[in-house]
Structure 1
Amino acid sequence: MADGVVKRRGEPGEEGRLIRVGEWWKRALGSEGYERHTVLLIGKSTLAATIAWFISHHLLNAQSPAFAPFSAVLIMQVTVYQSLLQSMRYVGAVGAGVAVQAGLGFLTGPGLLTFLLVALVALTIGRWPTLGAQGSQVTTAAFFAFSTYVSATSDREKVTQLGQIILLVLIGCAIGILVNVSVVPPLRYRSAEHGIRTLAHALRDLVSDIYPALREHDVDEERTGQWRDRAARTEGLIIQARSGLRTARESLHYNPRRLFRRHRGRTSFEGYGAVLEALERVLYQVASLTRSLDQWAGNEDGYHYGPFLERYADFLGSVSEITQVLAALDEDNLINQSAQLRRLADQAQQCRRRMAEQAAHEGLPLADPARPYGVLVIEAARLMEDFQYACDVLQHHAGH
């Protein structure tokens, strides 16, 4: 009986894991996303490593054949451009490490003092900024070279083995680059789009929480403090979005796949870059808006501000509709979405004007820096300037 209970309890978990695995593979096979990129990277790395091992071990009969497959996998970067850049840095780092060992080894011999000097010099060279992330490979190569140097029985064998390390690294890098370029070279067009969607999604969620509270006059210190904290945390999303745009641009460099892309707009990211900059400014302005609300927190100050808050809620509600479209940005549907954004931007402009007219009608102190009304009106105008600019850029981008 107990065994039966355990089995029944285990079955849903196993079934759930199988379902999740199936969904993962479905996403990998059905769309260009993280899952597919992961499968391609693993497959290409395996292929490159196997070819490199075959050449270094079976054809060259090298003493340290693992250098070739290790190098092939190491420079299998997310873009062809990065593969080329990192391979040059890696070869330079390994060459420097081997050169340090060769110079000091033949000068002072294979003793402990030599190893100390090799470590000291290699670690110093590894700090060179030009080598970037490959700086640590100077020390790694120097240590492997020292081990090879100590185990060799003659000067000729020492020179041969040290030179072979450089040769294997060159072979591995060449194979890695060749595989990366020839087998589905990575083309990350969608990473720029994904960054914009992520920012717009965060903005939509924040604005969608603010405007219902303003409409209900439910603005207290706890709630405005939460809005302010959430707006401040978007800085990390901005950094990620910039990185995605940079990766998308890099993926075009030296990539043969871009020659076969039929979509005219996909070879240019100026439009997405401009939209991203506009969204960054919008997020900063929303952060300023939340700070103003947090400092005020709906306290009574002798003015009848209820209708103003309601108008402002209408404005933010229209802004939320714009962010909803941006959060679902799809290059394949950009023409329809840009037309929709243009219409929503016009509606938001009308809401903003009505809000400003309401503030003037109520006689609110817009010029008083100690009260939030003027700041809120100004931020609304700035928000619409940037949203209007983003919509115009996307419409232009979609038309070309």
Structure 2
Amino acid sequence: MEWLRSCTAWVKRAWSTPGHERNTALLVGKSALAATLAWWIAYDLLNAASPAFAPFSAVLIMNATVYKSVWQALRYTAAVTVGVAVQAAIGFLAGPDLFAFVLVAVIALCIGRWPALGEQRSQVATAAFFAFSTYATATTTADKVNQLGQIILLVLIGCGLGVLVNLCVAPPLRYRSAEHGLQVLAGRIETLLDDMADGLGTGEVDSDRAAKWRRAGERAQHAVGQARAGLDTAESSLPLNPRRFLPAHRGYLGFDRYRQSVDALERAVYQLGSLTRSLGRWREAEDTYTYSPALKAYADFAASLRDIAHVIAELDSDALAEQAQEMCRLATIAHEALQKVLGAARDNELPLSDASRPYGVLVVEATRLMEEFQNTCDALKDTAAES
């Protein structure tokens, strides 16, 4: 009965809170509604010979956003029209024999390489093959023309209903996707900085721990891609969406500041990657310089950046003003911690120009990290001011 408990928990999450489960349930429900309406029109009202084209088209173009649904509908309709046109031209010239099918297949597959059709490129050949089958079974010329035209009509009906249902039934606004992407990315950075602060503070910077930091940095880099994908989804959910004009959503008409934040955090991830690679080359026996005070200062600096990342990891647009104020306060603390890092390096006369030791990288990357975290704080502060 484990599967039943899992299903029940999934349904509860979909019902109670916004998120992936609810989005999935809405998409399934709207797809089923559009497909049902398309089948009813094609089968019961039009008595079409191939009514499945309509519900298939409705489901195929149903997307996470209205804008993407419209775009996919246009591309799919174009692909089907081209495929049917290819079959019609070859069929009426050469007839429904094997040689004609070879010509249809070659031409349709070549046109299917056209980048302008995007994800729907393969539908050129699919439509051409279905059209060939329909053409071959028709008995008269008028019937052949009628059947081929009916395929395009059914596709138009299915695409139109798919777009209409997506537009009228809870049209998705995915602005939370932008927040979620930032949250995940900041959470990965927070985890890395937390472990770095602990390791640098205790002096446990061996090869195993440095390797662990590199792996954490790679996971953070992967989260950058997820954050950008979330931003793209959020931005594409705005065009053609009537819900964006409602008072509750008017503060989400642009995501430039969120993109600036992702850009800054991406650069921070790169700086952290450079830092972890340098620490991976740490000499196990280092007794030439007194480096403990500098590492302790750097541990405090990493901890101050971790606190900023923690606030971003809990980003909430409804409390963004308060969170932005808290980030600015923490950024001031981080600036003070950075000055202590620079002071410790100077007081202990560490060889910052020696490439065989990580001190120079520590200081340089500390400055760059502070700049990127400050940029992130400023971008989110501006976002809060504009909301």
TM-score by length of 1: 0.94
CA 1:102–1:263 in 2, change beyond 3 Å: closer, same or farther?
closer
**Pick from 151, 173, 176: which aligns with 2:162?**
176
Mapped pair 1:190 → 2:176: yes
Where does residue 116 of structure 2 map in the other structure?
Answer: 130
Where does residue 62 of structure 1 map in the other structure?
Answer: 48
- 1:392 Cα deviation from its structure 2 partner: 1.4
Q: Which moved more, 1:54-63 or 1:268-277?
A: 268-277
Which deviations, in whole Å up to 9, do the C-alpha atoms of 1:208-255 show, x marking residues without a partner? Answer: 111111111111112112212331343322111111101100100000
- 1:117 Cα deviation from its structure 2 partner: 0.9
Structure-2 separation of matches of 1:163 and 1:127 = 24
Partner-residue secondary structure (3-state), 1:295: coil
Structure-2 separation of matches of 1:56 and 1:256 = 29
Where does residue 346 of structure 1 map in the other structure?
Answer: 332
Structure-2 separation of matches of 1:170 and 1:320 = 53
Confirm or deny: 8 A CA contact 2:205 2:282 kept in the other structure: no
Where does residue 267 of structure 1 map in the other structure?
Answer: 253
Structure-2 separation of matches of 1:301 and 1:248 = 53
- 1:298 Cα deviation from its structure 2 partner: 4.8
Structure-2 separation of matches of 1:130 and 1:18 = 45
Which deviations, in whole Å up to 9, do the C-alpha atoms of 1:2-22 show, x marking residues without a partner? Answer: xxxxxxxxxxxx2x5444333
The amino acid that maps onto 2:235 is R
- 1:23 Cα deviation from its structure 2 partner: 2.5
**Pick from 350, 353, 356: which aligns with 1:370?**
356
Structure-1 separation of matches of 2:79 and 2:285 = 63
The amino acid that maps onto 1:250 is S
**Pick from 5, 23, 31: which aligns with 1:45?**
31
Which deviations, in whole Å up to 9, do the C-alpha atoms of 1:261-308 show, x marking residues without a partner? Answer: 425432221111111111101100000110110112554151111111
Structure-1 separation of matches of 2:316 and 2:69 = 28
**Pick from 147, 154, 168: which aligns with 1:161?**
147
Where does residue 253 of structure 1 map in the other structure?
Answer: 239
Structure-1 separation of matches of 2:22 and 2:283 = 47
Where does residue 209 of structure 1 map in the other structure?
Answer: 195
Partner-residue secondary structure (3-state), 1:267: coil
Where does residue 273 of structure 2 map in the other structure?
Answer: 287
Structure 1: state its 5+ residue gaps.
1-13
Structure-1 separation of matches of 2:84 and 2:275 = 58
**Pick from 160, 182, 186: which aligns with 1:200?**
186
Q: Which moved more, 1:289-298 or 1:204-213?
A: 289-298
Confirm or deny: 8 A CA contact 1:366 1:374 kept in the other structure: yes
Structure-2 separation of matches of 1:176 and 1:328 = 36
Where does residue 96 of structure 1 map in the other structure?
Answer: 82
Partner-residue secondary structure (3-state), 2:290: coil
The amino acid that maps onto 1:39 is A
Structure-1 separation of matches of 2:20 and 2:112 = 32
Where does residue 21 of structure 1 map in the other structure?
Answer: 7
| Pairwise CA RMSD | 1.2
Structure 2: state its 5+ residue gaps.
none
Structure-2 separation of matches of 1:92 and 1:298 = 65
Q: Which moved more, 1:183-192 or 1:370-379?
A: 370-379
Structure-2 separation of matches of 1:263 and 1:121 = 47
Q: Which moved more, 1:145-154 or 1:234-243?
A: 234-243
Confirm or deny: 8 A CA contact 1:224 1:297 kept in the other structure: no
Structure-2 separation of matches of 1:396 and 1:199 = 20
Q: Which moved more, 1:155-164 or 1:289-298?
A: 289-298
Where does residue 71 of structure 1 map in the other structure?
Answer: 57
Structure-1 separation of matches of 2:104 and 2:326 = 65
Structure-2 separation of matches of 1:325 and 1:91 = 46
- 1:24 Cα deviation from its structure 2 partner: 1.6
The amino acid that maps onto 1:360 is R
Where does residue 238 of structure 1 map in the other structure?
Answer: 224
Confirm or deny: 8 A CA contact 1:265 1:397 kept in the other structure: no
Which deviations, in whole Å up to 9, do the C-alpha atoms of 1:337-370 show, x marking residues without a partner? Answer: 1111011111111111111101100000112223
Partner-residue secondary structure (3-state), 1:55: helix
Structure-2 separation of matches of 1:31 and 1:297 = 50
Partner-residue secondary structure (3-state), 1:335: helix
Structure-1 separation of matches of 2:13 and 2:258 = 25
Confirm or deny: 8 A CA contact 1:186 1:251 kept in the other structure: yes
